[in-house]
Copies of this chain bind each other. A is one copy, B any other.
């Protein structure tokens, strides 16, 4: 259980998900504020990788970054952000490594859900490089795991990744990409999902995943 300055609401934890009665409009407002900061921190990550300014200037910038860290840490959560939800079933996971609004490590992925499955368009820059000019193979696996998990968890059920198999057809170039995923079939608590990453010339990476609904957690937290 964590105590926090924002929001002020009382909170209880169920299976790690925390019930938090902050009104949705306040969550929306705060999310936009943190998302704006995370977007600029994402720029700082890119600039840190690509900068060629001299060593002294890098050191001075580092000192200034440290001062900003101290200002943000003046009041903070004692640990990770976790996943919270309120009585209106507004769910927020601002720290999520792939989609978290406050997480500058996340590209972030914006997943669009349709009856046929899920897709997401995104642009990957210098921070996601593996081989020269190409997306790191592990980043591709990470993104596929996420969108396939969201696909498996459609209709508010909760699933966890059981097995994920990723096949690399060719290098995935940094730049604009599309992710797609859809449910192939279901067997009891198992959901079989297929996914892919494509650039303008077609599929670069394919994946198959088995996602599992934990016994007794068929549904996501709700009122």
Interface residues of chain A, those whose CB is within 8 Å of chain B, are 4-6, 13, 15-18, 29-30, 33-34, 36-38, 40-41, 43-45, 47-55, 57-59, 61-62, 64-66, 68-69, 71-77, 79-83, 93-98, 100, 102-105, 125-134, 136-139, 141-146, 149, 160-168, 171, 174
For the A-B complex with A29-B55, A44-B69, A49-B77 known, give 18 more contacts whose Cβ atoms are closer than 8 Å: A15-B132, A33-B59, A37-B59, A37-B61, A44-B44, A44-B72, A45-B104, A45-B105, A47-B72, A47-B73, A50-B95, A82-B133, A96-B136, A98-B138, A139-B142, A141-B142, A142-B142, A163-B167
Lowest 7 A-B CB distances belong to which pairs? A138-B142, A16-B132, A138-B145, A47-B72, A80-B126, A141-B141, A97-B136
CB-CB under 8 A from A163, the residues of chain B are 165-168
Copies in the complex: 2
Q: List 8 A-B contacts (CB under 8 A).
A: A6-B54, A68-B68, A80-B174, A83-B132, A136-B145, A162-B167, A163-B166, A165-B165
Q: A44-B41, A137-B164, A141-B142 are in contact. Are A129 and B82 (CB under 8 A)?
A: yes
In the assembled complex, the CB of A67 is this many whole angstroms from the nearest CB of chain B, namely 8
Q: Which of A65, A125, A160, A163 has the most CB of B within 10 A?
A: A65
- Give the complex CA separation of A171 and B146 in angstroms: 15
A166/B139 in contact, CB under 8 A: no
Give the secondary structure class of A's interface: mixed
B49/A81 in contact, CB under 8 A: yes
Q: Which of A80, A105, A127, A163 has the most CB of B within 10 A?
A: A105
Q: Which of A69, A100, A102, A144 has the most CB of B within 10 A?
A: A69
Q: Which of A4, A73, A97, A149 has the most CB of B within 10 A?
A: A97
B62/A65 in contact, CB under 8 A: no
CB-CB under 8 A from A102, the residues of chain B are 48-49
B16/A40 in contact, CB under 8 A: no
B47/A69 in contact, CB under 8 A: yes
